[in-house]
Structure 1
Amino acid sequence: MIFERLRLRNFKPYGDASVSLSEGVTVVHGLNGSGKSSLLEACFFALYGSNALDGTLDDVITNGTEETDVELWFRHDGQRFHVTREVRTYGDRASTATCTLETDDGELLREGATDVRAFVTDLLRMDAEAFVSCAYVKQGEVNELIEASPADRQDTVDDLLQLGRLEEYRDRAGEARLGVGDVLEGRRGALENLDERIERKESRDLTERLNALESERAELDEEIERFESEREKAETTRSEAEDTLAAYEDRRAELSELETEIDDLETAIRETEAERREVESELADARERREERATELSEAVAAADVEDGDPETVAARRQTLSDRESELREELLDARDDATEAKNRAEERRETAADRREQATERRERAEELRGRLSELQETLSERRERRETAADRRDELRAQFDDAPVAVGEAASLRESIQTELSQLGESIEDTRTDLKEARSAVDRGEELLAAGNCPECGQPVEGSPHVDALDERRDRVEQLESELSALQDEREELRERRDRAEALRETERDLEGVEDTLSLLDEQIDETDERVTETRERIDEHCETADRLESEAADAEADAEAAADDAETARERVADCNRRLQSLEAATERLDRIDDVREARREAAAEVDRLEERRDGLAGRNDERRERLTEKRQRREELAAAVDDEAVETARERLSNAESYIEQVDRKLTELRERRDEVTNGIGAVRNELDELDELREERETLAAEVEALETLREETAELEETYADLRGELRRRHVDILEQRLNETFDLVYGNDAYSHIELDDQYELTVYQKDGQALAPEQLSGGERALFNLSLRCGIYRLLAEGVEGAAPTPPLILDEPTVFLDDGHVSRLVDLVEQMRGFGVAQILIVSHDDELVDAADDLVRVEKDPTTNRSSVERLEAASLADLRPTADD
């Protein structure tokens, strides 16, 4: 993956900034606090949004502004992408306003912060945390791993290798286990409480209480039924008395009503006679209006130039005018359509001409941009070919070292192992010989002491006449022989050590040769890729130029078509004006015909009004005749009702009604008492039944709760097993990572310290590091100098980078390697080792390395330099890129 370009607006200390990035080593150079690290954070933010920030969205907006834009162009796996994020402040908080991901052609792939982040995570096969942990060696981190305590170092490396999440999952499982335990204790307490409640309810004899209450309610029902029967009889007597009294009241009411109706009828007859006279007057006026409308109709017929005002004649003339109007309107619509079509065609062709010319200009501009890019690619191609020639020369030099060597290339390690084996065996022989020599010398010394004392060195008897005196001479000869053998063995060991050193030197040459071969392979791939891009760029330039010529020709044709269409539009507008004039004449003739219809309709309405008033007059007369007949009938009914009233029967009915109402009142009081008692009993029955239902529910609830307790006990056991599984899995994954990380770390360590006194590194399962000197002595990293510790830790972080990058399936090429202020703890003698480390990472296939530093010495390692400066007056940062060709003036010369 390669970062190609970054554009910022109001991002942290940057107002408006843009910088291009390329493959190779780029040093982001500037004073502390100038804004170098903010450039890297902008790249991470563009890819992953707020997930890649240490703070919030509010922190990325420049102070004094309310919005920020970040754009990043990057290449990955042969494709180019462009991501844009815009953040706006709404009220008191900032949020993402726009987020898009496009291809290099402008095709929209994703839109929205969540979708873009998900797409990038899937594309790179890394989320924000994994990407930053893999690619970014943060400022000040270079000494952190060594100086940290064992526990802190273990947590830090686990987090970098994404193993910390397993500890988080284990903690969650532990919390879940404790939570399940809390819930289980609560459920057990609830189960005990249910058992106590069930026992209390079972001790209250609820079934016997229910039977007694139901018996009492049956007796109350019988007594209530008897009283209700007697009350119905009393209600019958009261009803009969009420009917008699009601009939009496009905007759009195009917008499009163008849008197009122008679008065109303007499009043209505008088009012209707007055209304009929008013209708007679209106009728005379209506007849006069009817005659006036007939005269107006004759005048309208004469003005319209028709034979008569007959509706058929008028309709025929109207149809003739309507047909002509339809023809004219169709002609008008055609003329308007022609005018609009011609006008639109002219505008469209003018827009097409402008668009084609604009596209042609853009094509030529893009061709110019591609020519600039072509020049850059050609320069890059030349530089890579030069680098390849240099690497090829270096390879030949290294291979030449094997011309007079005892082994061929690739066999130095085997030779060293065989020599080391011989040395080990020879060392054992030397130790055995030394032991024998020590024993022989001890025997000679002891013999000489006995001989000096006059005793035999063998048996300790007096030496005079002893046959063993000559054995001392033999032992002295043995000592001389062993001393000669020991000297020969030591000489042989020195010779073997010289051969081993020669084999080790050849092995170092082999390693250098492997690195050069890897570099040559990478350069060959890069040269082929750059050569293809040069050819592709030339083809695209030719394509843009040809397209621009074609677009300009199309623009000229479109302008000619626009002029012709404008002439057609003017002709069509003249036709529209002529049609409008003829339509106005037809509209005037149609209005005169409308006048005939309006007057004829008014005459018809006047005649209808006459008929209506005549009908109303006759209706009023007929209604009064009917009222007079009804008035006679009501007067006769009034006389009949007056004769039918019986006062004695009415008095008897009133007495029976009073007695019945008194009895009903007494019965109602008794029924109220009985019903209240029945309600109390019924409520008691309901309460007992409710308690029985509650008892059943409590038993069911207990069964459910007992099952829950059993399930929770099982769940607690399972969460404990899960917690243990996460711990075992973390340990197993750490062991696997340690083996690979140790291998990667030693590959880097060989380059950095291979020619010094250090041999190799061992890494145990707790990430405890041990450095071995070439004499076999083990050293803790804390025993190294400050510069060595810093360089050692950089080697460790580069090893972690390679492990993470190689572990991302299909993520080729690897993400950029970013070193933030790596020289903080390095002395002058170790900066060159850092440069070697950077070159080695390039040899491992890291296409882009970004080094953020204020150190001028790292300029020598840069292919490109990005200079960051901050204006002290505005507190705003600016960025400028210096390409490889411009760095020669900045690098120190041999004379300097």
Structure 2
Amino acid sequence: MRFDHITLEHFKPYADASLDLQDGVTIIHGLNGSGKSSLLEACFFALYGARALDETLDDIVTTDEDDATIELTFSHAGSQYHIKRRLRRSGDRIQTAQCTLDGPDIEIDGATDVRAFITDILRMDAEAFVNCAYVRQGEVNKLINATPTQRQAIIDDLLQLGRLEMYRERASDARLGVEDILSEQRGAQTEIKAQIERKEDANLHEKLNEYEAARADIDAEIERYEENKIRAQETRDNAKEILTSHEETQEELTELEAEIDDLRMTIEEDESTRADFREAIETKTEQVETLLSARTDALSSAEVTSADADTLAARRSTLDDKESSIRDSLQTARQQQTMFENQAERLTERVDELESRADELQEQASEAETAVTKAKEQITTQQNAQADIEEQMTSVREQFNNSPATLGKATEYLEMLQEEHDDIRNDLASTRASLSTVQDRRNEAQTLQEAGKCPTCEQPIEESPHVEAIDEYDVQIETLTERLSQLETKQNKVNNKIESAESLVESERQFETLKERKSLASERIADARETVNEQTETAASLHENAGELETEADEKRDAAATQMSNADSEAEKVATLESKLETINNARDQLDNLAEIQSEIENIRAEIERLRERREEIADRNDERREYLQAKRDRHAELAADVNEARIEKAQNNHEEAVSYLEDVSEKLDELRDKRDNIQSQIGSVRGEIENLAELREKHTAINDRVSALETLHEQVETLSSTYRELRADLRKQNVETLERMLNEVFMLIYDNDAYSRIQLDDAYELTIFQKDETALNPEQLSGGERALFNLSLRCAIYRLLAEGIDGTAPMPPLILDEPTVFLDSGHVGRLVDLIKDMQRRGVAQILIVSHDKELIAAADHLVTVKKDPTSNRSSITRIDDPQRAAISAASSNKTPQ
């Protein structure tokens, strides 16, 4: 895998930056805090997203910005891919707004899917990446400081051995699951076998034969009783038929007697009704004579000569024509009245509106006059404030008299002092580290000299390079101590200057604030004067408009009174016409009364005719009833002669005997059927037991087969778990042997002291260094520089192991080293250069290093410098085409290339 191009927008200190990355060694150089490490973090973040951060998304977006974009183009396995991550502020949080990966025949959208794709093609997640290919600043000693167990877990994870353990655990879990199921099935097998034995001991088939024989006996007895029951039912039915016929004859005689009585009473009632009808006819005739007299009076009142329909219709037509003419006049008068009233109402409403509007304008004019007064007061207040501000500005200007910075340059002066302070602080840290290293070595040499021989190997220490260097160590300690004192004195002076500069910066900020306040006061005075002019004109205009509205209101009030007078005149016309309509309605009522009298006369005459017809109909019906009554009397005499009392008595006795027998036989049959049902239930129960026995036998056979299969599966799973465990142990042993060989090759390449013979890495990943005399040392016993070299050797050996693989090459990202020379002296830096060249020779196509070491810069194929603008606090990237010449130029001027 190779990084091709990185583009940043609002990522940490970068506002807008892009960089092409090529094969070879690329050194990223710049001052502390300029953003060198951020460039590598951006590449790492592009691959793995938030999983690659030790911080939150809020921390990687440039201060005061709401979004950020990171784009990385990389090549892998002959194809090129492009990742784009865009962050956006949502409320108080920064969230991923876009995450896409494009490549040949592939498009992936979503942070989770993109991270999964990168993990798949590299065969490592974010944690494995930093444990193998990315040595981050301050983590160079991560592997050596880890416990053997932690180191084993890290390296096993990188070499994919963790998956074998995961598979072994899954196989072990499966074995336990099979054991649980097998135990359950064996229990079920035992229980089913016991059930089968209990059912076989119950002699189910013998019981079934006994129950079926008993049921057959009961069925025969039931059949005999049912035949007797049928004969008794026939006897009962014959007797009942005779009795029923006798009852029907008696009922008919009774009905005939009732009918005869009913007919006689009906004839008598109808004759009474005929007499009532005769009286009603006489009464109705008298009513007609009374109505005829009333009709004569009504004709006179209605002003007509006849009550026939045509005469009445003609009179109604005359009244309708007259009413129509009056109603037309009435409608016109009402419309005129409504029109005058509406006009008067609208004029009155308009008067109210005009008077209300005039009041509003007068109130607005008063408000404008009040605003003029307030604006004049504001002018006076702001003029006084301006005078106070001028005095304060003069006071601030005086603070810059005889100061090291002029007004307006205080911030630049403070930044210059802070840069000087950072340089001194870096020199102090470097000097303190060098002094500590030299003191450790001098103490070790002094201990050996006092002992006279090595405490481990018992060899004499005469002419040992460690002992001979004691004087040189003393000179170095004295020089470094003096240098440390000078730097601390210089740091105190700069700190005092910084305090003064910070005070000047604060005064400068105060001066700018005062300038803004003065400008704001001037603007407020101008605004107030403009308000005075505008509001004065507004008040005069509002008073004038209010007077015009009041004059118009008086005119509208007079017009409203005139229209109301016209409406009263029309109201009088309406009253007169409505009186005429009432007279017509009375005449129409007289016609209606006459029509009602005529209709009632005709109705009563029709009723008299109907009553006469009813009397004739009743007389005819009574003649027919008298004939029917005689026929009923003849039928009654005939039925009474046919009744035989002896035959009826015999039928009653037979019926009673049959009913009694049927009751007894029904109880016996119910008893027998209950007994048969009980036996049938027992037969069903026994048959169910027999069927259940067959099912249990089939189930027992199936469980036997399942137990046998589970026993076989348990053996197979146990074998699989052992296979994974043995395979992991074999692979770990191969990896340990290969890693130990590579670690020795790398360490011997970069370590030029012959005091050490080899490094041992056991199966538990315990590291041991052997001196030439085979004395074993823990890596913790090495000096700071030696430990750093040892760890770099271990990281590069792991990278080689993964890159070369055991059964073939593996896809690897660029090798990334962030400040690897922090704990190295100049001699060890040269060996680091040899290590980097060796990694290149072994096929590492791309190596990215963050460092300000001149020796590393000289060995680079490409040089990238990072600068931060002190004004905008934003970083920029510059590529230098000739790193060697840049390093030589920096060395000759005793300055670091920028």
Q: TM tier, shorter chain?
A: 0.3 to 0.5
Which structure has the greater CA radius of gyration?
Answer: 2
TM-score of the superposed pair, with normalisation by structure 2? 0.44
TM-score of the superposed pair, with normalisation by structure 1? 0.44
